[in-house]
Amino acid sequence: MPAKKPTKTSGIKDLVIRVCVGTGGLAAGSQEVIDEFGRQLKSYGIKADILKKCVNKTGCRGFCAKDVLVDVILNGKSETYQLITPENVARIVEEHILKGEPVKEWLVGPEYHAFHDKQTKILLKECGHIDPEDINAYINIGGYEAVRKIFPLETFEVIEEVRASGLRGRGGAGFLTGLKWDLCSKAEGKPKYIICNADEGDPGAFMDRSVIEGNPHSVIEGMIIGGYAIGANYGYVYIRAEYPLAIHRLKIAIADARKKGFIGKNILKSGFDFDIKIKEGAGAFICGEETALIASIEGKRGMPKAKPPFPAYKGLWGKPTVINNVETLANLPSIITKGAKWFASIGTEKSKGTKVFALTGKIKNTGLIEVPMGISLKEIIYDIGGGCERNRKFKAVQTGGPSGGCIPASHIDMPVDYESLMGAGSMMGSGGMVVMDDTTCMVDMAKFFLTFTQNESCGKCTPCRIGTKRMLEILTRITEGKGKEGDIELLLELGNDIKLSSLCGLGMSAPNPVLSTIKFFRDEYEAHIKEGVCPATVCKALRRYTVSAELCKMCGKCFKACPSAAVTWEKKQPAVIDKTKCIKCGACYEACPFSAIL
């Protein structure tokens, strides 16, 4: 194609453009941005061979709040743009790439640097920098070195290295990975299996997805290391069907690794065989629990079993099986190449290394972060997260998903590690961190989580099946303004009983969101029950719909929206709501374009 705008392009010796194509980036329109860069560069006659190589797709780099993020690396100098749309591309090409003058007002600001400065990146280091669909990109940064390194070692030496690193499982419970491997390697029975748990059921978390989308080979390499250590020749990745992009990239990665001989028969002439299969989940939260996950791979209903026997002794098809979380596995290559000592030097005494969190909710800088264990909540929320949106008041942060709890603002100085979180009635969980401000109702949050667990309870044991249902009924009536004296005590009693008597981790932790919100926000529960008020004005039935005469612009929309003729309004008169007729449906509130209904 002839260059339509002849311009000097000789100054461009080396050009790389990196655009994030994680799920977040794609939703923000990164594919359109990539296409536009292609079109623009072509129209200037920039050579196609540069073109093919220079627009790089990468996985998520974490700062999703400012997507689409674009790196322009011109002759070795890198600049990062934020919030880029296809319309911005022409100017970037013209001013930055052709004239060498970056478009200042679109460059990332200080929040971008603040967001990254407090982080310590091991797992996410390469996410957002390398092309996840290219195995050579991974090999170039030292990928698959760890696999080479372990083969001359005895399996117990590999296990010892992992144990010495202090790595604990990132899937929730925080069990020592080295210990789990040791048990399984000594267990009787063949063949053995290693399963990567990529079910990521916590609603509000996307760390595992991002790691797989951004650097799938690190997970595969981790599985090979684990397989070698415990003596397993087969691995499964159990992954949510809701993650099509992650599945796609994983498939490519497995095929490429097989082509290069990192998986298959006699890997690197070591005599060790290893192969990996992908199993797509069929949509059930409980299948993240290890025994249920195994049942699901076997094609059955995903019902958990009582432990012991632990999967390390009797797992998939009744054979010894290790189940590890995505993040746990992705840590292994660096532990092997850099050594246990290096890993153990990061973090606290009992919690080593880093943890990836999905920082979301009502916070300014949402995204994916990786921090050293033991960092304080304050540093996460304010330094990295930039505080609450619209500078509202920070109220609590929820960790551990439906199994965890809400940590109140008063505990902001708490260090983030396994023990501290547990002590505050929450847990590390897989790494969701949902921030709440003063417009979030804690009773509603508790109800939200219980609705979820109630729905996902497999129904095998009574305390979980019926107990959570009763708790949900109580919470529902509280949010509807029909709470009774004694409801809080009843919730506490039921919650503790369910925790003690449930069969699996789902039931044992299901009451946590309720118990922790009662512990720290009992006054909110009491306001609902005793005063019939929802302090955060979230619970619809407890709203008192009145019209603010000051804000009312007399448009009459609320009058038309009201289904029970409770609104009176005449032209040029502010509307009035008759409380005796109001059925609290909220129609007027939603219809009002001026937020005049309070």
Partner 1 sequence: MNEKKCLAILDSYREHGGNIISLLQEIQESFGYIPEDVVFWFSKRLNIPASNFFGVATFYAQFYLKPRGKNIITACCGTACHVKGSAPIINKIREELKLPQGETTTKDGKYTVESVACVGACSIAPVFIGNKKVFGKMSMEKAAEMLKEIDKGKGK
Ligand X SMILES: Cc1cc2nc3c(=O)[nH]c(=O)nc-3n(C[C@H](O)[C@H](O)[C@H](O)COP(=O)(O)O)c2cc1C
Residues in contact with ligand FES by CB under 6 A are: 203-204
CB nearer to ligand FES: give 358 or 421. Answer: 358
CB of 244 to ligand FES, least distance (A): 14
Position 203 contacts partner 1 (CB under 8 A): yes
Position 434 contacts partner 1 (CB under 8 A): yes
C-alpha to C-alpha distance for 41 and 98, rounded to whole angstroms: 10
Applying CB under 8 A, which part among 38-46, 282-290, 372-380, 499-507 lies near partner 1?
282-290
C-alpha to C-alpha distance for 169 and 177, rounded to whole angstroms: 6
Using CB under 8 A, pick the residue from 36, 71, 161, 200 that binds partner 1.
Answer: 200
User: What is the x/- site pattern for partner 1, positions 443-472, by CB under 8 A?
Assistant: --x--xx--x-----x--------------
CB of 20 to ligand FES, least distance (A): 17
State whether residue 504 is helix, strand or coil: coil
State whether residue 205 is helix, strand or coil: coil
Task: Give all strands (DSSP E) within 180-291, no chain letters.
Answer: 192-198, 232-239, 275-280
CB of 531 to ligand X, least distance (A): 36
Pairing of strands 275-280, 232-239: parallel
Q: In this structure, is the dihedral angle defined by the CA atoms of residues 557, 560, 563 and 567, taken in order, positive or negative?
A: positive
Position 504 contacts partner 1 (CB under 8 A): no
Position 199 contacts partner 1 (CB under 8 A): no
CB of 175 to ligand X, least distance (A): 5
Position 559 contacts partner 1 (CB under 8 A): no
CB of 587 to partner 1, least distance (A): 10
Position 209 contacts partner 1 (CB under 8 A): yes
Using CB under 8 A, pick the residue from 323, 335, 368, 478 that binds partner 1.
Answer: 368
Decide: residue 2, CB within 10 A, 0-12 exposed, 13-18 middle, 19+ buried: exposed
Partner from partner 1, ligand FES, ligand X, none binding residue 368, C-beta < 5-8 Å depending on class? partner 1
Position 386 contacts partner 1 (CB under 8 A): no
CB of 206 to ligand FES, least distance (A): 6
CB of 369 to ligand FES, least distance (A): 15
CB nearer to partner 1: give 165 or 398. Answer: 398
- Point out which residues pair with 70 in neighbouring strands: 19, 81
State the first-to-last Cα distance of the chain, in angstroms, to the nearest integer. Answer: 61
Instruction: Cis check for the bond before 309: say yes or no (omega within 30 of 0).
Output: yes
CB of 412 to ligand X, least distance (A): 27
CB of 239 to ligand X, least distance (A): 10
Using CB under 8 A, pick the residue from 166, 172, 178, 401 that binds partner 1.
Answer: 401
Which residues of the shown chain bind ligand X in the complex (CB under 6 A)? Answer: 169-173, 175, 197, 199-201, 286, 288-290, 323-325, 328, 430, 504-506
**Torsion (CA) 179, 185, 187, 191 in degrees, nearest 10:** 140
Closest CA to 554 of 570, 566, 565, 567: 570
CB nearer to ligand X: give 302 or 481. Answer: 302
CB of 205 to ligand FES, least distance (A): 7
Task: Provide the token pair at 394.
Answer: 């920070």
Q: Which residues inside 44-73 make contact with partner 1, applying CB under 8 A? A: 64-65, 67
Partner from ligand FES, partner 1, ligand X, none binding residue 218, C-beta < 5-8 Å depending on class? none
Using CB under 8 A, pick the residue from 3, 255, 268, 282 that binds partner 1.
Answer: 282
Position 255 contacts partner 1 (CB under 8 A): no
Closest CA to 503 of 306, 309, 290: 306
User: Are the C-beta atoms of residues 130 and 137 closer than 8 Å to each other?
Assistant: yes
Q: How big is the site for partner 1, counted in residues (CB under 8 A)?
A: 54
CB nearer to ligand X: give 63 or 418. Answer: 418
Closest CA to 123 of 270, 327, 388, 324: 327
Per-residue burial over 325-355, b if 16 or more Cβ lie within 10 Å, else e, is bbbbbbbbbbbbbeebeebbebbbeebbbbb
Using CB under 8 A, pick the residue from 3, 11, 14, 27 that binds partner 1.
Answer: 27
Position 361 contacts partner 1 (CB under 8 A): yes
Q: Long-range contacts: 115-118, Cβ < 8 Å, 24+?
A: 115/62, 115/63, 115/365, 115/367, 115/369, 115/384, 115/386, 116/62, 116/63, 117/383, 118/371, 118/375, 118/379, 118/380, 118/383, 118/384
CB nearer to partner 1: give 60 or 224. Answer: 60
User: Can you state the angle between helices 155-165 and 326-338, rounded to 10 degrees?
Assistant: 100
User: Can you state the angle between helices 468-479 and 442-456, rounded to 10 degrees?
Assistant: 150
User: Are the C-beta atoms of residues 297 and 312 closer than 8 Å to each other?
Assistant: no
- Point out which residues pair with 74 in neighbouring strands: 15, 77
CB of 27 to ligand FES, least distance (A): 10
**Sequence-ordered list of residues with C-beta below 8 angstroms from that of 573, at least 6 positions apart, any chain:** 554
C-alpha to C-alpha distance for 196 and 191, rounded to whole angstroms: 17
C-alpha to C-alpha distance for 269 and 264, rounded to whole angstroms: 11
CB of 280 to ligand FES, least distance (A): 19
Partner from ligand FES, ligand X, partner 1, none binding residue 423, C-beta < 5-8 Å depending on class? none
Footprint of partner 1 (CB under 8 A): 23-24, 26-28, 64-65, 67, 200-206, 209-210, 240-243, 280-285, 296, 298-302, 358-362, 366-368, 398, 401, 432, 434-436, 440, 445, 448-449, 452, 458, 590
